[in-house]
Amino acid sequence: MTDQGPDACESDQLADVPVDDRPRHIAIIMDGNGRWAQNQDLPRIEGHRHGVKTVRMISETATELQIAAITLYCLSSENWKRPQAELDFLMHLLEQYLIEERRTIMDQGLRLKVIGRRDRLPENVLTEMDRTLQMSANNPGTELVLAIDYGGRDEITKVTRDIASEVAAGTLSVDAVDEKTISSRLYTADLPEVDLLIRSGGDMRVSNFLLWQISYSEIWITEKCWPEFSRQDFLNAIRDFNSRQRRFGGLHVNE
């Protein structure tokens, strides 16, 4: 589940891991920005600023490795409890990212997608978000999914409410409600299943992130905080994923 330190894998490429054996969809809990900054005797907001550089590196590496999708936990529905000054900076940083990373997004062929609530985000952020979404909509590369004001329980509650409304209106039978019905109404309905969940910062929890989608995901955790998460760490996580036997509740033939 966890990394094995900086020497776990010396190779800076995955030529020996076929594309089909790599995770199609990687979800990442980008934890530890504030702690990293405090350890550097910097304001917490500097951790978020440095974390953006890691996001750029990860998205570029995912494109290089032909990963179908990566979902980054940018802002949880619980993060609104943080100090207003930090929230204001996060909104400014998000707006800045959406503007300044457009060239990278287009050059890399990334297709931006945003999941989560929109109603609590500032209008200026929504304007830049929609502009970048529209610009990148037809890009052929990795889908870069930003989870903003997102919570797994909130998503499942929304889906449950939608299904209940359809049943009440007579457009959906109760007997027709199954896992496929729920999955088709999630924010991630058009994405591959999450194969690998990466968490930086060392905490052993999923923090209300993609609760339905990670049911059978492999989990890889590193003690490193997000601003110090490296390309090599990303490659190590993928290589470790490739070494595991995924049973999905069943058994392999030789077991």
> How far are the Cα atoms of 50, 77, 149, 224, 250 from residue 227, in angstroms, in the given order?
5, 22, 21, 8, 38
Residue 4 has what pLDDT? Answer: 52
Residue 222 and residue 200 in contact, taking contact as beta carbons nearer than 8 Å = yes
Residue 247 has what pLDDT? Answer: 66
Q: How many residues are given for the chain?
A: 255
Active-site hit among 79, 154, 208, 242: 79
In a domain, 175, yes or no: no
Residue 47 has what pLDDT? Answer: 94
SS3 call for 143: strand
Hey, which residues does 161 pair with through a beta bridge?
A: none
Residue 154 has what pLDDT? Answer: 97
CA-CA distance, 213 to 188, in Å (whole number)? Answer: 8
CA-CA distance, 236 to 4, in Å (whole number)? Answer: 9
Residue 12 has what pLDDT? Answer: 60
In a domain, 202, yes or no: yes
In a domain, 251, yes or no: no
CA-CA distance, 182 to 152, in Å (whole number)? Answer: 13
SS3 call for 102: helix
Residue 157 and residue 149 in contact, taking contact as beta carbons nearer than 8 Å = no
- What contacts 236, CB < 8 A, 6 or more positions away? 3, 4, 8, 9
In a domain, 9, yes or no: no
Residue 13 has what pLDDT? Answer: 74
Determine whether 21 is an active site residue.
Answer: no
Task: Give the number of other CB atoms < 10 A from CB of residue 105.
Answer: 21
Assign residue 120 the CATH number of its domain. Answer: 3.40.1180.10
Residue 157 has what pLDDT? Answer: 97
Which residue bears the tokens 């060239």?
103
Active-site hit among 3, 31, 233, 240: 31
In a domain, 253, yes or no: no
Structural tokens at position 42: 């910097």
The number of domains in the chain is: 1
Q: Domain range spanning residue 124?
A: 22-151+192-243
Q: CA geometry: angle at 204 spanning 242 and 158, to 5°?
A: 90
pLDDT tens digits, one per residue of 30-69 = 999 999 999 999 999 999 999 999 999 999 999 999 999 9
In a domain, 219, yes or no: yes
Residue 224 has what pLDDT? Answer: 98
In a domain, 156, yes or no: no
In a domain, 11, yes or no: no
DSSP H or E run through 17: none
Averages of pLDDT over runs of 10 residues in the chain (255 residues) are 53 78 97 95 93 96 96 94 91 95 96 97 97 97 98 97 98 97 97 98 97 97 98 96 77 53
Determine whether 79 is an active site residue.
Answer: yes
